[in-house]
Structure 1
Amino acid sequence: MQPFTTVTGIAAPLPEANVDTDKIIPGRFLKTIARTGLGRHLFANQRYRDDGAENADFVLNREPYRKAEILVAHENFGCGSSREHAPWALLDFGIRCVIAPSFGDIFFSNSMKNGILPIRLPRETCDRLMEDAKLGANARLTVDLARQVIVRPNGEEIGFEVDPLRKHLLLNGLDDIGQTLQHAPAIDGFEAKQRAAQPWLYA
């Protein structure tokens, strides 16, 4: 998993509440377990018209937001079904951080496990960041996980809370498997002792 340390980039404003995981990536694109290639299907029902052409009115189809690394939204982002494809699609598009007043619980956890930082902030603060985002490429945001601050274009710093364990895992690029492999010497030691004491288990 790619570590999350500091991201400075374009923020895309998405002034919508209750954006569910089916809106993030519609169910018809869930036939794959590959994590790559899903970015083109992100928000597919909003990004594309019935004939397959891009919807020029949708934010991620406009410059400079095609290169957005941060998404600012309203309440309950990522609600709905527990599809891990939702953070996969965001990450494959290039989104590393989502800022919103609240999130669906499973989406929040899945994002952390896939290298995306979801940040909860009050609605009024999200609205201020949304106004920054509307300024486009001239108003990049910086998300500094180590310091737990968002730096606005005017230099103002906004603090945010994050669970210490999840912060450690993100900073070090550790998913569940990576976290387990940190204990590889102890696991190998246990297996060696068990193999010697109970060899029939390994026959």
Structure 2
Amino acid sequence: MEPFVKHEGRVALLSRVNVDTDQIIPKQFLKRIERDGFGEFLFFDWRYLSSGEPNPDFELNAERAQGASILLADANFGCGSSREHAVWALSDYGFRVVIAPSFADIFFNNCFKNGVLPVVIPQDVRDELAASYAAQAWDAITVDLENQVLVTDHGISVPFDVDPHKKHMLLNGLDDIGLTLQFDEDISAYEARRQVYQLTY
């Protein structure tokens, strides 16, 4: 997994509360067994009209949002079913960071396991950022995980909290398997001792 230390990216604004995982990646696209290839189906029912053409009224289709790697969302983002595909779709589309006042617990934890940083900020701060973004005051944010701060390209700084263990995992590009493999020598030594014990007894 790619380490996350500092990321600067264009922002896309999604001012919708209670965005559930079935909207993030609809169930008909869950047939793939790989983790990639889901980005084209992200927010499919909102991104496209019944004709298959892009929906000009959907936020991510705006010219300003093209190439965005940071999503400024709203409260209770990622609610609904526990499908990990929701994070895969966001990551495959190009998002490295999702900022919101609150997240559903399972989605929140899945983000860290897949190299996406979920940043929790107060609702009033989120609303101020959304309003100034809509007013075209800024377009991009630098996310500094090491120092736990967001900085907009017009100079507004917003500190955020993050669990120390989850921070360590992201800074070092570790998922659960990568964390376990750090103890590869200890595991191998244990297995060798265990094999000798079994042969002896």
TM-score bracket, shorter-length normalisation: over 0.9
Q: For residues 148-200 of structure 1, what are the alpha-carbon distances to aligned partners after superposition, in whole Å with 9 as ceiling and x for unaligned?
A: 00002222211000000000000111000000001111000001111112149
What corresponds to 1:96 in structure 2? 96
Q: For residues 101-139 of structure 1, what are the alpha-carbon distances to aligned partners after superposition, in whole Å with 9 as ceiling and x for unaligned?
A: 100000000011000111111111111222344366952
What corresponds to 1:176 in structure 2? 176
Alignment of 1:38-57 (within 5 A): 38-57=38-57
What is the alpha-carbon distance in structure 2 between the residues aligned to residue 6 and residue 43 of structure 1?
26
What is the alpha-carbon distance in structure 1 between the residues aligned to residue 81 and residue 115 of structure 2?
20
Misfit runs of 4+, over 4 Å:
135-138
Q: For residues 35-91 of structure 1, what are the alpha-carbon distances to aligned partners after superposition, in whole Å with 9 as ceiling and x for unaligned?
A: 111000000000011121111111211223121111111110000000000000000
Which consecutive unaligned segments of at least 5 residues does structure 2 have? none
User: Given the two structures, how large is their TM-score scaled by the length of structure 2?
Assistant: 0.95
Q: Secondary structure at the match of 1:131?
A: helix
Deviation at 1:33, TM superposition (A): 2.1
What is the alpha-carbon distance in structure 2 between the residues aligned to residue 199 and residue 176 of structure 1?
32
Q: Which deviates more, 55-64 or 18-27? A: 55-64
Identity between Structure 1 and Structure 2 (%): 51
CA RMSD of aligned residues (A): 1.7
Alignment pair present for 1:192 and 2:192: yes
Gap change, CA 1:199 and 1:54, over 3 Å in 2: farther
What corresponds to 1:62 in structure 2? 62
Gap change, CA 1:35 and 1:119, over 3 Å in 2: same
What corresponds to 1:118 in structure 2? 118
Alignment pair present for 1:5 and 2:5: yes
